[in-house]
Structure 1
Amino acid sequence: MTEQTVTPSSGRRRKASDGSGAPGEGGAPASGPVRIPLNRTWRERHGTTMTVWGLRALLVIVLLATWELTGGSLFDITFTSKPSAIFERLGEWWADGTLWTHSWVTIQEIVYGFLLGAVAGALAGFALASAQLAYRVLDPFVMALYSIPKVALAPLFIVWFGIGMHMKVLLAAATVFFLVFLNTAAGVREVDRGLIDAVRLMGGSRREIARKVVLPASMTGVLTGLKVAVPYALIGAVIGELVASNQGLGYLINDAAAQFDTAGVFATLVVLSVIAGLLNVFVGLIGRRVNRWKPVESQG
């Protein structure tokens, strides 16, 4: 059973179909939207979603089948490989433990780098955007640092931190930091000033304004930064592994490319795509939980 949201006109008494619409104080009807249960079949509720996923699966199947059938005739499999060879390589790596060993190293680097960069970027964005003068002073320097290609930082990070996991984590964190910082700062600066002034007139302190107004209203910017930063955390970690490493998925790519093992390179890219997809799902779940405070119309 699903619910339909109905916003009745002001001055009318409203009654929910299940009898739960209790009146407000003094006998006045409760304000806000009313949820009315709707009886819909499973197909009516999930039909569109199933259609979308079905078309996605069909597209993937068609692309893989075309690739498999044309490999060797239209394309040289030495350079493009074939889906069957890629899945065979994945099976071999799965069986001998290669896939799990190197994937676990890269996953740790991605997760630690993402968390470190995201937390630092969100805190810095919230703090600096709330201080107008400091933000205006530091903004050009932040943009200058953001413009530096992160690949160029890898040799410097190797000199500073060596070739261990710390270097890859910090490189991933540096990549994530600026994306989260800029989106968080934009979210804070776009908070409705009228709402802030209204809370201030009602006697709200700076701490209350920051916690109850600015922080919730800026969460859209924070979540946007997190979603954008997911693939960049992966990129930062893999770049570090490509530059200097003896383990991880970046090392697997280097090793497969050195042996001209195109199937191995594609197999590693498949694993990286799966990891990025799972991280995006995780961020999406956080976003739905955080955005529960929004009005019903905004959640659609």
Structure 2
Amino acid sequence: MVTEPIRPLSRRSLLAGMAALTAGGCAITRSGTAPRRPLGLADLTVIKPLAGDYAGTLKRVAHMGYSHFGFRLAGYSAADKSELPPAEKARLVRDAGLQVGVVRYGMGDNFAKQAEDAAAIGASVIALSAAPVFFRGRKLGETTRAAFDAWLPELGRMAETARALGLRLAYHNHWWDHVPLDGTTPLDLIARNFSPRDVAFEIDLAWAFLGGVDPLSLVRSLGPRVLAMHFKDVNPALGTDRMKQLVVPGTGVLDYPTLIPQLDEVTKAIGYVEVDMPKDGLAEAASAAELIQSARRV
């Protein structure tokens, strides 16, 4: 559990600190080759190709070197009926030679039902994309300490449901989770109020950066309660809209060739490439996989 708050850094400090990092090596086996680290892909990156050919897209993903595939359990709204059933998705994932990775709770259905689906398909981690209180204010990402505190018991009930089914519940961060509410950030409030066995984390490196936090320091500080990460990049030249700044790893300001070996030294969490607004999802998934695999071969 985190005992000290994660202190935001300035953008200049973040970039300077990351530039100063030195690449660490992977553990070497007796044969002299580095063991392959798992690498995941989040379905959002290839959401368009999946809609046209789910099975074929997964096979192409596996050919790129990905080992895990993370997907949402249901649509993002009750009206979204376009998603395949979770069991069908899991079958296609395994048929492609991939493992079922972190599954994401879709906000359009009740949590207990989706957690049951997650357990039935053999998932081990179910992720909550965001605290719903950040969508209820006047602006996206804004809430009050009172509203957040009032929501925490709901998170606790979700954790209990997941644990009873043999699942780990992971909370996914956004930039707003690093903005203090009456002196304490939402991420710290979750870490302090729940034990690691109840609530773990899926840390999005780009959102942490946009929240003013050094991604590597954040992952290190949370230790083994980080079960997964999202690998994406940030390009501030694309405007002031944070969502539009999110790009494929290797095309922004995060130094992934340096960052990946450092992350491999401090965590065993699986990283999932995720491109929120893909232009050519398959091409972007391929370039990200090559970048990360190359960083691990150095």
Greater share of residues in helix:
1
Q: TM-score with structure 1 length normalisation?
A: 0.22
TM-score (normalised: structure 2): 0.22
Q: Which has the larger radius of gyration?
A: 1
